[in-house]
Amino acid sequence: MSIRIKEVQSKHDLEVFIKFPMNLYKENKYYVPPFINEEKETLDVSKNPVFKDAEARYFLAEKDNKIVGRIAAIINWQEVKGQGKNKMRFGWFDVIDDIEVTKALLSKVEEIAKENNLDYMEGPVGFSNLEKAGMLTMGFEKLATMVGLYNYAYYPQHLESLGFEMANEWVEYELPAPTILPEKVVKFNKIIRERYKLKELKFKKTSEIISYVDEMFDLLDKTYSELDTYVPIADYQIDYYKKKYIPFINPDFVNCVVDEEGKMIAFAITMPSYSQAMQKAKGKIFPFGWWHLMKASKNNDSAQFYLIGIDPKFQGKGVTALIFSAMFDTFRNNNIKFLETNPELADNENVQALWKPYDPVNHKRRKTFKKAIK
């Protein structure tokens, strides 16, 4: 039977597109499904402001009258025109173990790249840096997180067989939450705090965080702007993410460091692990998804890191240890025993230095893959 690639044209098609991986991983205990309505909003050109600078087309692969794969072909024009990177992005890539299906899906993306005179294609990535990226290459038998893609082991094998090569690599770590901070860390933190006249900020209410969000995004720009993968975050995107995610952040898990003038120089956002709660919710907030999330937020022994930003002027000066100490109090007060980092670029040693004193175990790796357009 031949493989047919059809473009998503209707609400029904989009629903099929979103739900395909939920069927593909139905029997997989490590996959964590996203919320269906959130995915719809992300992919909707009328609701997601990223489409002011980007465009996307979504495709489904059909074989033997069954949906066997999906892919999104994405062009971020801010990246292409503003940064001079003639890159065709692809994401939302899921497929059965049939390399011909993978080839057909990627050929469609390559076709669109040629139409737009782009030089190479890379994925899996999202529209911007604030979305999931990187295909899992190690850690297939580890529970996925909200911020990491999950895929079967044959995914990277397919891409490598089709001539794709690594573009970027991320690493993730798991570590036990320390019950006591080492004495040398406590002394070092005191020295750093006094030397640079720094102090920690703690929040009691989510509303208290709002006034600091713009500073957080500014720090993200400063922290990651030198990385090859980074695309600047537009103001309208900040407003969008502020409304979408801040109301769900637990203020206990937001830690910030400011200088003597009250300017933020570092922050970290962690959250209780919602992975198991999202598995139970099965992609739906209602009728019971919210209940599983609420239980996970109040009764959880695991936490996951989501965002961290450190002013480059303070990188390598011990501020990372100061941030971790602030988080330590949060974990201790919330009975957190296990920690998992977010994906960090393999060559980003400044961020990885944060975990070194606490015996981290590299339990996951992921890569994006690229291929020149001929």
220 in any annotated domain: yes
Residue 137 and residue 251 share a domain: no
Single pTM value for the model: 0.91
Whether 349 shows a pLDDT value over 90: the answer reads no
- The residue from 171, 189, 220 where one domain ends is 171
Task: Among 252-256, 312-316, 369-373, name the most confident range.
Answer: 369-373
369 in any annotated domain: no
Residue 312 and residue 219 share a domain: yes
- The residue from 124, 144, 171 where one domain ends is 171
Instruction: Fill in the amino acid letter for 222.
Output: K
29 in any annotated domain: yes
Number of H helices, E strands in the chain: 13, 14
Whether 129 shows a pLDDT value over 80: the answer reads no
Residue 336 and residue 222 share a domain: yes
Alpha-carbon Rg for the chain in angstroms? 21
Residue 231 and residue 263 share a domain: yes
pLDDT in tens, 190-226: 888 999 999 988 888 888 888 888 899 888 888 777 6
φ, ψ dihedrals at 370, nearest 5°: -130, 160
Residue 144 and residue 17 share a domain: yes
Instruction: Give CA–CA dist 81/76, Å, rounded.
Output: 9
Residue 224 and residue 117 share a domain: no
The predicted pLDDT at position 55 comes to 96
Residue 201 and residue 56 share a domain: no
- The residue from 171, 204, 221 where one domain ends is 171
Average of pLDDT values for 241-249?
A: 77
Residues 319 and 257 sit within 8 Å (Cβ to Cβ): yes
Residues 314 and 265 sit within 8 Å (Cβ to Cβ): yes
Could you tell me the CATH number of the domain that includes residue 73? 3.40.630.30
Residue 267 CB coordination number (10 Å): 26
373 in any annotated domain: no
Residue 348 and residue 234 share a domain: yes
CB proximity list for 183: less than 8 A, separation 6 or greater:
none
Whether 130 shows a pLDDT value over 80: the answer reads no
Q: Where are the beta strands (DSSP E) in the chain?
A: 4-7, 54-63, 66-76, 87-95, 120-123, 135-138, 165-176, 199-201, 254-258, 264-272, 302-310, 338-340, 344-345, 361-372
Residue 209 and residue 103 share a domain: no
Least Cα distance to 24 among 91, 90, 94 occurs for 94
Residues 249 and 269 sit within 8 Å (Cβ to Cβ): yes
Number of domains the chain is built from: 2
Domain range enclosing 138:
4-171
Whether 285 shows a pLDDT value over 70: the answer reads yes
